[in-house]
Amino acid sequence: MNLDALVSHQFARKTTRLTTRDTILYALSVGAGRDPYCDYDLRLVYERELQALPTMAAVLAHPGMWIAEPAFGVNVTKLVHGEQRIEIRHPLPVRGDVTARYAIRAVVDKGTGKGALVYFEKHVTDAATERPLCSVLQMLFLRDDGGCGSYGEPPESLVAFEPGAASFVHELQTLPSAALLYRLNGDLNPLHVDPDAARAAGFERPILHGLCTYGAVGYLLTRAFCDGDASRLVSLDTRFTAPVYPGETIRLEGNVDGDRLHFRALVTERNQVVLSHGSARIN
């Protein structure tokens, strides 16, 4: 990887228009609307009194596959989405124009043959008022790009959840068509829809987007802990450890520490942890 090219790159700001259709589609794609007569779910999928799920911050003004820029010299075939963190400053709008700015926050060189971690941040504001809406921090694990050198200050490490401490359990069965819906939020990677592409990547069938699993967990947390007000979820941090296959059941295990929730998520069919080091804050 060309570290100098990466850290000196000037990302253009991006303004995009959010519609109620986008907000509803996002909620449906991460599992909302299973019970159309539930008041809470209806507020996420019906334009009357519509609320946006906070995890929609992950797809707002997404910059696309920026890391594949040839000048960066990254082997994208060895890239893994390692962690995702969001912080909500003001409740996300259900419609309107939003502007995002992007930056490389840090690069951690783990050494030749060990890979490198790239921390990429996105800050989203209301385009008309410039009111800050949310911050998103994404960690990419570049497995083939160690030995490149380090840059900046990485964030504090996420803390692992000890499963023996679980005081709550919630489950959500993903739809077999979940990846087909979620890709309409903007991630059209064939890995999530094309059986041939999935097999070529080493999977038995197409896998769910990691950020769809992330959104499903966010939906579960808002439904269980936010008293019908999705905007009360103001942060959600986690590490991706394994993929989910569409149709599998996500089991969320965690405990409550004041306004902070600590958790992990696994799929019950394979008893495999898919999200670890989870932390969320409820306002």
Is 207 designated active site?
A: yes
Residue with tokens 């009360």: 232
Q: 195 — alpha (psi -120 to 50), left (phi > 0) or beta?
A: alpha
Residue 214's alpha-carbon distances to 10, 37, 76, 123, 273, in angstroms, are: 29, 24, 22, 19, 13
Q: What is the CA radius of gyration of the chain?
A: 18
Is 149 designated active site?
A: no
Across the strands, what pairs with 237?
Answer: 85, 279
Is 192 designated active site?
A: yes
Catalytic residue among 31, 82, 210, 278: 210
DSSP state of 58: G
Longest Cα–Cα distance of the chain, Å, equals 55
The burial of 43, by beta-carbon neighbours within 10 Å (0-12 exposed, 13-18 middle, 19 or more buried), is given as: middle
Which pair of tokens denotes residue 59?
Answer: 């797809």
User: Is 168 within 8 Å of 265 (Cβ atoms)?
Assistant: no
Catalytic residue among 88, 207, 250, 282: 207
Which pair of tokens denotes residue 203?
Answer: 């999977």
Q: 137 — alpha (psi -120 to 50), left (phi > 0) or beta?
A: beta
Which pair of tokens denotes residue 177?
Answer: 């068509």
The burial of 111, by beta-carbon neighbours within 10 Å (0-12 exposed, 13-18 middle, 19 or more buried), is given as: exposed
Catalytic residue among 22, 41, 109, 187: 187
Catalytic residue among 62, 123, 192, 277: 192
Distance between CA atoms of 10 and 56, rounded to whole angstroms?
A: 25
- Secondary structure element (H or E) that encloses residue 212, with its range: helix 210-225
Distance between CA atoms of 256 and 278, rounded to whole angstroms?
A: 12
Is 24 designated active site?
A: no
- Annotated active-site positions, please? 187, 192, 207, 210
